[in-house]
Amino acid sequence: MASLYRRTMDVLYLACVIVGGTALVLISAIIPWAVFTRYVLNSAASWPEPMAILLTIVLTFIGAAAAYRLNLHMNISYFADRLPPPWRKLLDLIVQLLMALIAVFMILWGESLVEVTWHNTIGDFPFLSVGVTYLPIPVGGVCLLLFIIERIFLGLPPDPITHGPEAEPFD
């Protein structure tokens, strides 16, 4: 059961990385287009800025969950690293429970935000519901909560870079 959950989280992590990476690449393409249309063509396009903002929401919430899974987020552990191992383990559990609380907050209030804004539209994208644009908040919260559950019960996942098949030493 544990290995199935770990493999499922590996797939979820890969999906989060692909979605977040795609959002980052699209942002990197859209912003230069906005600059080009404004300063070279002297006719600013209206859609790049709101599109970049929407993609930033995706990158922030989905990408942050992926970063959290591999402990790549910014943290300061100087004092925690100096605690005796039993206290460090207790502190880590407290941190995971607090993070789970944040994830639940993202899920509940994010879902509420999606529901309240579902029938509103964006001026530059009248075909797109505002609620859809806020979906990354509860989705990111669910991903984060699943990664926290994995960390509490199974520990940190192995680093895919150092544990992948291509990481074998050369003979």
Residue 87: inside a domain: yes
Residue 19 lies in a domain: yes
State the chain's mean pLDDT as an integer. Answer: 90
Whether 164 is covered by a domain: the verdict is no
Cβ-proximal residues to 35 (8 Å cutoff; 6+ apart), any chain: none
Per the domain annotation, does 92 fall within a domain? yes
Is 86 a member of any domain? yes
In a domain, 29, yes or no: yes
Name the residue range of residue 43's domain.
Answer: 2-74+82-156
| Strand (E) or helix (H) holding 126 | strand 125-129
Answer whether residue 170 is part of any domain: no
Please tell me the total count of domains within the chain: 1
- Please give the pLDDT value at position 52: 93
Give tens-digit pLDDT for 124-153: 888 888 899 999 999 999 999 999 999 999
| Digit-coded pLDDT (tens) for 25-46 | 999 999 999 999 999 998 888 8
Structure tokens belonging to residue 92: 């880590």
Q: What is the mean pLDDT of residues 7-18?
A: 95
Interatomic CA distance for residues 158 and 88, integer angstroms: 20
| pTM listed for this prediction | 0.85
Q: Is residue 111 part of a domain?
A: yes
